[in-house]
Amino acid sequence: MASTNQSPQYQKAESMFLQAKTNEEKAKWLEEMIRECPKHKSSEKMLANLKTRYIKLKEKIEKARKRGKSSAKSGIKKEELQAVIIGFTNAGKSSLLNALTNASPEITPYDFTTKYPLVGITDYLGTKIQIIEVPAFNSEYYDKGLANTADVVLILVTDLSQIRTIESSLERSAGKKIIVFNSFEKSSEEIRKIEATLKSKKYEFIILDVNGDLNNLKEKLFRGFGKIRVFTKEPGKEKSNRPMILEKNSTVKDIAGKILKNLSILKETRIWGPSSKFPGQIVGLSHVLKDMDTIEFKTR
């Protein structure tokens, strides 16, 4: 593509263009080649060719973006507990999704690798949580529709200035917002200052290395849904492996209504866990449940 007497900057851009693996990378280096191409009569034809290629490449990218949005949206079924990860390119979104869930997103050092929403499921103490990685906030593939409907929004950042920019696009989002600051390669002094700033602004936040221990994040994530987990058991048997998910301040009557077709057959209810005064306490229908309770129903 290059002609003779091109600058070192042009030659470097052309080399990077030829090595590029994605259309987005190619477009980036084509822009650089157009900027560095000499602007005199003998190079007019070459410059025109570069601009034509750039226009066609951008059209191809836009078509792929529209196809990606359409297919991704139609394939996502909202689960009972749904969270989305939002952040700028290279913030560590794919690494976080990979560490939290069973998804296997492509992770590269290039910008804008994720071009459509990626879905995974994380398990926290028997509770299944659907987590969706949204394409980079500053990319043409970003779609805030999922952020507006998710129960929890994880705002993943590597710089404090990114928070306000992302927040400004979430006016219509009713979900709980949690700032996740990726501390990868940050010094302890930097982390201390970041934590002080986030506390002063009264953010709900957590600071962590997305490649490290994520148990605290899972706990904070579940708390963000404002739900409680209640295990059920049959008399003489072990409790269920998976809890039922209920609203806070739910009562025995609320969960009994989900399990029993007719409450008149209920003979006795026993409770183990945080809401009980002692293990196996007998309680009535108005008893208010707490997170991680275990409930046993005896019927007539």
Determine the pLDDT at residue 105: 53
CA distance 17 to 218: 41
In DSSP notation, 112-155 reads: T---S-EEEEEEETTEEEEEEEPPPTTSTT--THHHHH-SEEEE
Q: What is the pLDDT of residues 236-295, one digit of tens each?
A: 899 998 899 999 999 999 999 988 888 889 999 999 999 999 999 999 999 999 999 999
Mean pLDDT of 195-212: 91
Q: Name which CATH class applies to 76-224.
A: alpha beta
**Better-scored residue on pLDDT, 158 or 66:** 158
Taking 80 as the threshold, does the pLDDT of residue 138 lie above it?
no
pLDDT in tens, 171-190: 888 899 999 999 888 899 99
Q: How confident is the model at residue 106 (pLDDT cuts 50, 70, 90)?
A: low
Task: Give the chain's mean pLDDT.
Answer: 85
Q: Which pLDDT tens digit goes with each residue over 50-66?
A: 888 888 888 877 766 65
CATH classification (class only), 227-299:
alpha beta
Whole-model pTM?
Answer: 0.68
